[in-house]
Amino acid sequence: MSMESTRSDNSAKRSFNNNRNSASSNSNSNSNPSNKKKKTSQKTLGVAWGSSSRSSSRSSFNNSPFSNFGSYMVEKNRKLQNQFEAEASTSSHGGSGSVKPIFDGVSIFVDGFTVPSSQELRGYMLKHGGRFENYFSRRCVTHIICSNLPDSKIKNLRSFSRGLPVVKPAWILESVAANKLLSWVPYQLDQLANNQPKLSSFFTLKRSSVSNSASTHAPCQVNPEAEDSSLKVGTSGDTYFSEVSAPFEHHKQISRESDDLVNENSNASLVEETTSSSGKPCEVAMGIPSNIDAKDESSVKNDLQSSHYQPAALVSSNCINNQNIKGSPSSMVSEPSNQSHSTLGDPNFVENYFKNSRLHFIGTWRNRYRKRFHSLSNGFNCTSSNIKASPLKTAIMHVDMDCFFVSVVIRNHPELRDKPVAVCHSDNTKGTAEISSANYPARDYGIKAGMFVRNAKALCPHLVIFPYNFEAYEEVADQFYNVLHKHGNKVQAVSCDEAFLDVTDSEGDPQLLASKIRKEIFETTRCTASVGIAGNMLMARLATRTAKPDGQCYIPPERVDDYLSQLPIKTLPGIGHVLEEKLKKQDVWTCGQLRMISKDSLQKDFGLKTGEMLWNYSRGLDNRLVGLIQGISGSPSASLPHSLGVVVTGILFVWYPLGCASYSIEYFESWQGKFGRHRNIDVWGILPHCLIWCIWHERNARSFEGCELSLREFKSFFLHILFDWSVESKSVGAEVNWGVRFKDVKDAQNFLSNLCKEVSLRLQGCGVEGRTFTLKIKKRRKDAEEPIKYMGHGDCENLSHSTTVPVATDDVEVLQRITKQLFGSFHLDVKEIRGVGLQVSRLESTENSKQGLERNSLKSWLNSASARTEELCKNNYVAKESSNQGCEGEGDETLGQLCGNSVGLSIQMDSNTSNGAACLNEVSVLPPLCHLDMGVLKSLPPELFSELNEIYGGKLVDLIAKNKGKTENINHTLSAYSHEKIEGAMKEGQAALLSSMVFQNEIPVENKAEQHIAKEVPSVSGAESFVPASGLKKTDLIPSSLSQVDTAVLQQLPEELKVDILEHLPAHRMQVFSPNVLLDPTEIPLEALGTKTAENNSGSKDFVLDNNLWVGIPPQWVDKFKVSNCLILNILAEMYYKSGSTGNLSPILQRISSVSLHQLDAFQDGWDEAMYILCELLKQYIKLKIELDIEEIYVCFRLLRRFAMKSELFIQVYNIVSPYLQALVGEKYGGNLHMSLKD
């Protein structure tokens, strides 16, 4: 290593350090030097040293003119500078020496893509006396110019920019234009604008970095009360306080207030606005003793003591005493046979396993509760939606049974009430069974849930252990909820022993009500319950914590702050071990300390959602609503997260897959992941993956196929994918990971078949069937020893295989067969197996499949152009209507035969299919939304359906009745007189219909229009004539329902979004805003309709002959196709809107290809017309584009050719249009388009 190279390395290094120092010293105003920062700089130092020694070891460098890379760069930069200066001297205005150039002293570095380009910017700098750096260097560069920054750079802005301003290129341009150097501040990169450091983060970050020097001064400033606690707390507390106080010492400008502030810090209630609340300390000091009653006080104090080292303060003292007692073996328990507790030798193992599983009980309890109290909760659904919660005095009650699992078991053993009792599935003294619940006397011994029986017995030798008694639990839980439902109609079940009540609307003092409820619970169940009352769910739950056992606690809003300030963070719901550790690393132990951290930095450190939650919870804010059912607008709790949820659902349109929830709050509930519908939770989970996938897909399309989706197209593409994915988002299954030991294959098979029984029962219990089966096996690792936990699974490899069957099933035998196959594919030694699980996914609702639905109900929400889906959709609709009328068979029949139906079907069949077609027509008149809504309607449970019906003022039932009436009529003759009105309506539909159907049915329909007959019309036309009638009927139902669902959401959206959505659904908008135009077709005079029909018929004949299919916005074909009765044409029209209404065909075709190709042929009637019109459409399009955009045509035809491989119809269309295209290309370009099939 030569001396020279080392030195140059060093000097380079040193200059870097200088840079840093100067950065931090001169940019105090706009930067926040943090300790994090310091760390990174140290790291780079180390790396630099390493690299310097590495480079010097490469001796070859010594021979080259540059001793190493560093000196090469120095030289290069020097040359570049010289070049630049030379150029500058020639190109600048130069001569006007008296005027100082604009960019004197400015030196820019351009990062990444900019408009104008870096070269142009360089030109400006040349001309106007600035400097342009090719390589970033803190020393020379004064401004960084860029239009866009990647996220990683934003996050590490400081290390990227070294504190230099990051400015948009517009700054330079406008400075040139103004002929003077403008301030760069307004041109700062937008991405950074919200990244400005805040005062609060400045404090919090500064704190730890400067604390050491000041620590000695600190304790004396702590006020007496805090000292009191910190004495017991010990050193950790001391250092904390000193750290907090330190920064204030260092900042003289606020030193006068520092005493107050420190006081406040000691109470850990410093809020972001530090200086504003100097009066607070005294309030806090007296708050604790006076506001909380004696018992509470002690517990709060305990918290205070323990908050810095152990959350379970109540127990800890006892714990120490008792831990010394060595447990003597208890005589109460006899040695149970090992055999019966493993799969060995117990044929009913699986059954017993689940019988004895508490988790299983809790899991299945929810279903039970739903069934039992469904009617109740439904009942208040309707009523409570009208109730506006008054914002000022909401009262939420949290009712929790005291050690439920124990107290229920011992309610018949009063003598055990004060003895330590625990519940556990096994009471083997040496056992490694885990205690699932212990009563308060037992907890005094330090016994906790999750503890091994062995250890518990050691702590408390006379601990009485009971097995579970699930019947009793069910009974008590039911009684418990009966009491709750008696007293409030807004009940939200959390678990079998825990619930929230919204008692805002109840008369009287909530505290009195609480005691009443507790009394009743005790009387009926002989078990005690505790109640917490507060203004929201969070505080109510926390209050219960204070209230326990067998007590009640009310936290009025004004005491929330005090209550929280000393609360250990661990107590807050949602803060688990991991989060707690992270927070403790930041010296946050209590909610009060948590409150000092700004929301921004919380969100930065813990993510948006968690950060938000922490911020809210530490302030006692909680916007969840009991029972999830509330009016949305005007609700006081509809705060930021709520509106955020609304915006997000709005932007992404995710309310489609989320389903029919009419209240946006529900979306958000499920977003939080704890409440709300399961499926919605899943959808939220899928969302990010789906988005990324779509972006990736689009990126590929852009770079490899050269086609781009507009933003709007992309949105709906994304939605489609989301729908598809959310179909598979749910699974039902069972897993056994304890006690699994097999002797031989027969054992294993036996076990599997029992597992299948269980899974099958669960499937049936949930009312679903599944198509994908996943068998998971835990296999002992080779070197794994026998697990510590008795019969546990120990260290295992997780293996899984899965298979998908075409038809969904919940049948035990099928399950067993599949599982056996799957198991065989593992090729395992059964003795190594430690756990087995069977998961069933791709679930479909049993009810739906009974009606003939072949797919999951979600699938039918796909408003895609998939012919299959649409067909299903309409079939379902038909099926539903008919089944609601009590004739399910009819629907079934339709469904089964629809695909293959042709001309010669029965009248009834025809009428049904045409009903389906009617749906279609109306679908194309309406926006795609109505598909969704139909799907929603269809998949609604009866109760919900009736509820909806009520909301829509009974229209739903009317509709069904009407349809029903019509269907019946068609079977007889058509009595014209009574149905005059319907016919009137129908004629309008016909007109529209025929305009695209051209040939076949013109004559009979025209006859009808003129004569108003309805005698022996040929069945086909008769059926068709009803199409429009029902179709039109539906149009007036569905949009109105949508407008109700949607506008609620729409109103909350920002203006641009609203416009965007409305544009996206133009037809829908029409429905919403001018309901009278279409809603009452029956009112239109018959004569008028007659003439219209005639007009349209004549029009329909010649519109294809004109060259005007592509004229107008939207092009004429869109409207024609919309009202066509051909599925494929409908789809095209629909896709026109979905693809962003660009007027180009290729995005439309592309959308179709992205949905489903192989089902395009799934229709029979109107084949010829469809083909003819498609060909015409394409020909006109070719004519339109051939001169200017051969690429577009090329893309379209390649897509068509791809369709042709899957679809009969498109083969024909392609074969007809292709020669025409080639001829035209030959004419214009003197060649043929290259369309070979090889690619």
Report the interface residues with another protein, using CB under 8 A.
Answer: 113-119, 703-704, 706, 1188-1194, 1225-1226, 1229-1234
Please, what is the minimum distance in Å from the beta carbon of residue 217 to another protein? 57
Task: Specify the residue, 614 or 1149, whose C-beta has the smaller distance to another protein.
Answer: 1149
Catalytic (active site) residue 498: yes
1114, 1141 Cβ separation under 8 angstroms: yes
Task: Specify the residue, 134 or 381, whose C-beta has the smaller distance to another protein.
Answer: 134
Residue 400 annotated in ligand binding: yes
**C-alpha dist (Å) from residue 1096 to 87, 992, 1114, 1131, 1136:** 73, 7, 19, 22, 23
Cα angle 624, 626, 629; round to 5 = 95
882, 930 Cβ separation under 8 angstroms: no
Upper half-sphere CA count for residue 622 (Cβ side, 13 Å): 23
Return the closest-CA partner of residue 658 out of 669, 646, 667. Answer: 667
- Amino acid identity at 49: W
Please, what is the minimum distance in Å from the beta carbon of residue 1226 to another protein? 6
Please, what is the minimum distance in Å from the beta carbon of residue 78 to another protein? 22
Q: Which H or E run contains 493?
A: strand 491-495
415-447 burial by CB neighbour count: b if 16+ within 10 A, else e? ebeeebbbbbbbbbbebbbbbbbbbbbbbbbbb
Task: Specify the residue, 331 or 703, whose C-beta has the smaller distance to another protein.
Answer: 703
| 3-class DSSP state of 798 | strand
| 3-class DSSP state of 872 | helix
Residue 169, judged by CB atoms within 10 A of its CB (0-12, 13-18, 19+), counts as buried
Task: Specify the residue, 115 or 320, whose C-beta has the smaller distance to another protein.
Answer: 115
Please, what is the minimum distance in Å from the beta carbon of residue 1237 to another protein? 13
Task: Specify the residue, 118 or 1030, whose C-beta has the smaller distance to another protein.
Answer: 118
Please, what is the minimum distance in Å from the beta carbon of residue 114 to another protein? 7
Give me the helices (H) in 1074-1207, please.
1075-1079, 1086-1102, 1116-1122, 1127-1138, 1145-1155, 1167-1185, 1190-1204
Task: Specify the residue, 772 or 1222, whose C-beta has the smaller distance to another protein.
Answer: 1222
The token pair that represents 493 in the structure block: 């079940």
137, 12 Cβ separation under 8 angstroms: no
Q: Report strand pairing: 731-736 vs 833-845.
A: antiparallel
| 3-class DSSP state of 29 | helix
Task: Specify the residue, 972 or 1234, whose C-beta has the smaller distance to another protein.
Answer: 1234
Residue 498 annotated in ligand binding: yes
DSSP string, 816-864: HHHHHHHHHTT---GGGEEEEEEEEEEEEEHHHHHTT--S-GGGGG--S
Please, what is the minimum distance in Å from the beta carbon of residue 493 to another protein? 57
Please, what is the minimum distance in Å from the beta carbon of residue 45 to another protein? 33
Task: Specify the residue, 675 or 1194, whose C-beta has the smaller distance to another protein.
Answer: 1194
> CB-based contacts of 569: which residues, under 8 Å, 6+ apart?
575, 580, 583, 588, 589, 590, 591, 593, 594, 618
Cα–Cα dist 757/734, whole Å: 10
Cross-strand pairs, 532: 398, 553
Task: Specify the residue, 626 or 1196, whose C-beta has the smaller distance to another protein.
Answer: 1196
Cα–Cα dist 302/317, whole Å: 10
| 3-class DSSP state of 152 | helix
Cross-strand pairs, 588: none
Cα–Cα dist 651/645, whole Å: 10
The token pair that represents 512 in the structure block: 């009195």
Please count the residues of the chain. Answer: 1239
Cα–Cα dist 923/1130, whole Å: 8
194-209 burial by CB neighbour count: b if 16+ within 10 A, else e? eeebeebbbbbbbbbb
Which listed residue (498, 669, 922, 1169) is catalytic? 498
Cα angle 988, 994, 998; round to 5 = 165
Task: Specify the residue, 115 or 1088, whose C-beta has the smaller distance to another protein.
Answer: 115
> CB-based contacts of 710: which residues, under 8 Å, 6+ apart?
1139, 1140, 1142, 1147
Task: Specify the residue, 113 or 1073, whose C-beta has the smaller distance to another protein.
Answer: 113
Upper half-sphere CA count for residue 531 (Cβ side, 13 Å): 25
Please, what is the minimum distance in Å from the beta carbon of residue 1140 to another protein? 18
| 3-class DSSP state of 115 | coil
Please, what is the minimum distance in Å from the beta carbon of residue 91 to another protein? 11
Please, what is the minimum distance in Å from the beta carbon of residue 1187 to another protein? 8
Cross-strand pairs, 797: 779
**C-alpha dist (Å) from residue 697 to 271, 317, 613, 740:** 46, 61, 34, 44
Residue 497 annotated in ligand binding: yes
DSSP string, 1179-1223: HHHHHHHTTT-HHHHHHHHHHHHHHHTT-HHHHHHHHHHHHHHHH
Task: Specify the residue, 190 or 708, whose C-beta has the smaller distance to another protein.
Answer: 708
Return the closest-CA partner of residue 499 out of 404, 410, 399. Answer: 399
Can you say which residues are annotated as belonging to the binding site for Mg(2+)?
Answer: 400, 497-498
Active-site annotation, residues: 498
Can you say which residues are annotated as belonging to the binding site?
Answer: 400, 497-498
